[in-house]
Amino acid sequence: MKPTKGCPKTSTILPNGGTKAIALVDAFDNPDAETDLQTFASAYGYGTPNFTKVKVGNPPPDHNWAVEESLDIEYAFGMAPHAHIYLVEANSNSDTDLFAAEDKATQLLQGEGGGEASNSWGEGEFSGENANDSHFKGKGVVYFASSGDSGGQVIYPSASPFVVSVGGTYISRNSSGAFVTETGWSDAGGGPSQFESRPNYQNVIKKIVGTHRGTPDFSSEASNVSFVIIYNQFTCGGWCGVGGTSVSSPTVAGIVNAAGTFNSSTAAENGEAYKDYGNATKYKKDWRDVTAGSNTVYACKKGWEFCTGIGSPITYKGK
């Protein structure tokens, strides 16, 4: 499997709490992960991060994954700076090693009384993938997965009904940095799963998705044009810009952590979001319905679609 990242700009991050823990599941080792996060936290005016790196095996350093790991921990932390941030490093990017790291993340989060696990990696769907869904069923843990960076395509574990599938958008700002508009990102993954059945929480959109699981559930900034800034010493030698749905999964995991509801499962988390979607008043208040742009295959339009799902979160309500 491979990380789902693109490349390079800046993002404004505001401290907004968070409790319990967030685990970021990655492969190989970033030897500078802790100091990278400390530098990032200091630059944005945060206190000292509560951070723990856990190796599952003896993962060697890897330059590509080191960037991914810095991104994951920094943007989960940026959204929820009071949460305990775990970086769980798999021994390699093989299915076996990544799912072993997922199981370790589940164990760590359950030891904290629950939390969120974010996965910014994936591979194309395959027959028999359902057997791996068991790795995303830990009680008290809500799992997130990036929808991928191959426009309009579906990847796993994003396709699993036991994860919140997080798609990507492009946010444009004016010269002062103020928000102007949000559109679907052309390279974001999304579409109907080939092998996963529609979960009950998607019954509200069954006329759109049919009998199969639809992705993504909702979306966040991911464009490699309106990219975010991270600090990574091992590969970048300092500050660098990164885009891709590798941004959106840890960002949304942090937002949900800061919201403080701590649902008992992914189904409960997604159920809350889709319940909001089914209520016109709450949907308009809590979510931005992204109606412009596309992910190359699917156009963004009013309501849920295979481009950005429900849309993007604009409050902590329903999350």
Distances (CA, A) of 268 to 41, 78, 164: 31, 24, 10
The closest of 143, 64, 65 to 99, measured between CA atoms, is 143
Structural contact between residues 56 and 89, judged by C-beta atoms closer than 8 angstroms: yes
For residue 15, the model assigns a pLDDT of 41
For residue 315, the model assigns a pLDDT of 86
Residues of the chain below pLDDT 70? 1-16, 318
pLDDT tens digits, one per residue of 99-122: 999 999 999 999 999 999 999 999
For residue 224, the model assigns a pLDDT of 86
For residue 16, the model assigns a pLDDT of 54
Degrees to nearest 5, angle at CA 226 with 221 and 230: 80
For residue 225, the model assigns a pLDDT of 85
* DSSP symbol at 57: S
Instruction: List all residues 6 or more positions away from 247 whose beta carbon is below 8 Å from its beta carbon.
Output: 5, 71, 75, 168, 220, 221, 222, 227, 228
Give me the CATH code for the 2-313 domain, please: 3.40.50.200
DSSP 8-45: ------------SEEEEEEESB-TTHHHHHHHHHHHTT
Question: What residues form DSSP beta bridges with 166?
Answer: 146, 218
For residue 241, the model assigns a pLDDT of 95
DSSP 210-222: TTEEEE-SEEEE-
pLDDT tens digits, one per residue of 226-235: 889 999 999 9
